[in-house]
Each structure stands twice: as C-alpha cells, then as structure tokens.
C-alpha cells in the first residue's frame, strides 16, 4: 500500500460508478477459479486457519468498520492481507494485520519506532485502515477500485482511470489497464468473502466458543517507565492474553513520559483492577480508636478514645495507620509465627 493524498482526485472521470459493495462487477472467471481451487484444495488448511484466527477479532473489526460508516465486508481485506496474524511482515516490509508500510502507517497516525509498532495493534491498525479505506472511497466512489488501490496504490489506479477515461472497474479490466497482481487481489478478496459466506456448502467449519477479543475494551496511557513483567503482574493477565490486546509493545522496558505516553488496551474485566494497581494507591478507610492503650504501644502518644485514624492495608499483611490530627504514621507488621 502507498500513502494516501487526495489532491488530484477531482481530475478523475466519473462514469459508470459501482456504488454498492462489489455489485455488478465482472470478475475474471479464470482468476476466481484459481483462488477457488487454491482455497478449497492445496490452500484449504491454511485458509481454514485464517478463518479460525479471524473469528477472534471479527466482532471488534466489524464494530470499528461500522463506526467509520464502512461496509463490514471489508473485514475480508485483513483476512487476505495477513490471515489476522498481528505480527505478520511481508517481503516489502508491510507489517501487521492490515499490512501497512511505514510511511502509510505514519500518515494515518500510527506510532512506529524501535519500541512501539502500532501497525501490529489490532485496534489502532484497524482504525487507521478504516480511515485509509474511507479516503480511497472518497476518491474513487467504488469499492472495487478502492480495494484495488489498497493493493496497488491510489496513484496507479488514478493513472489507469485517466488512460481508460473511465471509473468503471469492469471497463478497466477489459482495457487491461490494471496490474495483474491487482486483478488477482480483487478476485482473491471476492472469493474469500464468498467462501466464508457459504462455508457450510464448501465444508469450511466455523469454530464454536472462540475466545473473542473484547471489542468494548478500555485504554489507559502510561506516563512513566514500566517493565513488561510489572505490567503483566498488575493486569493479572497471561502474556498471551496481554499481547492479544497490546501486540504493539516491542520491548521489555516500556519507556513513557507525559509528553510521549504509551497506550495500553485492556478488557473491561481487567481494566479497573489494573488502573488501581497502576495508580499504586491502596484503598484506605477511617476508623475510630476504641482502646488507645493498644496503639500507644506502637508509638502513638497522647491518643484519645474516639479519635479518627486512617488505616491502609499494605502487602504481606502490613497495615499503615496515619493519625489525622498531626500526620504521624506507623506501619504495623504481622507477627512472625
């Protein structure tokens, strides 16, 4: 994929636009047959793995596409790009589920450096892909051409349109103005979509009870350095689960500041506890003194019955008691057995 710039869009002719999702498109039968045979024969196991892996992220991806007012069928673009392997990398250095090259990723707001690669984060990368696809559709007003441009780059498709003096995908195919790789790509997309849609007929199974990523996840910004091991402990998540939400983390030490924070994503079930642990503040409560003599043994002087103290439970059974009257604080350790 290449970077998306919109300045020359108005110069493109605008006849025969296919404004619905891949309706009235005449796919080359030999290319559809090629991908059908591959997906149902030699590539069947691979395609089944992609379908299974995609189910983990599908609800999330479709909800993001809907939020950008895009057709949910664009889910299959990520499927044919990467099989939803988050760390996928092509020989052209395109990375992540949506296979962004570095320049395009940065143009669409993704952070990419030695520590963080947001192309591999399913949330961030899908939002970026949705913005890119929206831009492409604003240029071409055709999903067939937008998908073609996602593969070949928008300028290459613009040039084909100018040469053919048409925006019709079918006409561009007939005039042989689209690259062979791109014709293959659009046919591959359509075949994958149809095989999944009619998976039962073609004996592709749908995994039941797939552990889906929480599409109603919550994010938190780190503003100071943390070791990855510390974050795993604070979240209470396994390494595998943590990276399902945060594949963009590349180092064992996450460096963050207020000016350059690092965003983490967590499922709702883990977020509240993680935020509390990250804050480092232990829950405390106010108590009234019943027997001053007991606490005087620990160093509190002139303590009166009924006086209010702040009590905070610490780790390893310790209790911190703070006197509100003068700020005096003591830590009480559990007795050794």
**Beta strand ranges found along the chain (DSSP E):** 218-222, 226-227, 253-254, 262-266, 284-288, 308-313, 319-323, 329-332
Tracing tokens 């500041």 back to the chain, one arrives at 257
pLDDT bin (cut points 50, 70, 90) of residue 14 is: very low
Mean pLDDT of 319-333: 78
Q: Under a CB-based contact definition with an 8 Å cutoff, are residues 321 and 310 in contact? A: yes
Distance from C-alpha of 196 to C-alpha of 16, rounded to nearest angstrom: 29
Task: Report pLDDT for 301.
Answer: 77
Distance from C-alpha of 161 to C-alpha of 14, rounded to nearest angstrom: 9
Tell if the pTM clears 0.85, that is, is over it. Answer: no
Per-residue pLDDT at 285 exceeds 80: no
Per-residue pLDDT at 213 exceeds 60: yes
Task: Report pLDDT for 331.
Answer: 77
Least confident of 2-6, 212-216, 333-337: 2-6
Enumerate the CATH 1.10.530.10 domain ranges in the chain, comma separated. 9-197
Could you count the other beta carbons within 10 Å of the beta carbon of residue 49?
Answer: 13
Mean pLDDT of 93-111: 97
Q: ∠ CA 100-108-250 to the nearest 5 degrees? A: 60
Task: Report pLDDT for 255.
Answer: 95
Q: Which CATH class is domain 9-197?
A: mainly alpha
Task: Report pLDDT for 113.
Answer: 96
Q: Specify the higher pLDDT residue, 4 or 145.
A: 145
């Amino acid at each position: 994929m290449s970077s998306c710039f919109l300045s020359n869009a108005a110069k493109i002719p605008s006849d025969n636009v296919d404004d619905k999702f891949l309706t009235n498109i005449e796919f080359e039968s030999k290319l559809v047959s090629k991908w059908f045979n591959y997906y149902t024969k030699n590539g069947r196991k691979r395609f089944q793995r992609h379908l299974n892996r995609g189910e983990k992220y599908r609800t999330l991806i479709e909800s993001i596409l809907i939020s950008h007012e895009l057709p949910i069928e664009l889910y299959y673009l990520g499927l044919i790009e990467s099989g939803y392997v988050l760390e996928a990398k092509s020989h052209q250095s395109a990375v992540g589920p949506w296979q962004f090259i570095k320049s395009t990723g940065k143009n669409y707001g993704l952070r990419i450096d030695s520590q963080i690669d947001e192309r591999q984060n399913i949330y961030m990368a899908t939002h970026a892909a949705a913005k890119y696809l929206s831009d492409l559709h604003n240029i071409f007003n055709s999903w067939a051409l937008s998908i073609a441009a996602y593969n070949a780059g928008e300028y290459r498709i613009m040039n084909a349109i100018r040469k053919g003096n048409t925006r019709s995908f079918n006409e561009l195919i007939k005039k042989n103005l689209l690259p062979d790789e791109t014709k293959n790509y659009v046919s591959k997309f359509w075949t994958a979509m149809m095989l999944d849609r009619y998976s039962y007929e073609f004996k592709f199974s749908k995994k039941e009870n797939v552990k889906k990523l929480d599409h109603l996840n919550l994010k938190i910004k780190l503003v100071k350095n943390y070791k990855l091991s510390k974050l795993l402990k604070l979240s209470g998540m396994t390494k595998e689960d943590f990276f399902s939400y945060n594949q963009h983390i590349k180092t064992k030490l996450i460096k963050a500041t207020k000016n350059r924070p690092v965003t983490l994503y967590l499922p709702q079930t883990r977020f509240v506890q993680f935020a509390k642990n990250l804050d480092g503040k232990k829950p405390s409560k106010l108590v009234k003194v019943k027997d001053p003599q007991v606490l005087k043994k620990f160093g509190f002087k002139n303590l009166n019955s009924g006086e209010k103290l702040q009590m905070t439970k610490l780790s390893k059974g310790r209790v911190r008691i703070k006197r509100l009257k003068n700020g005096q604080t003591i830590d009480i350790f559990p007795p050794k057995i």
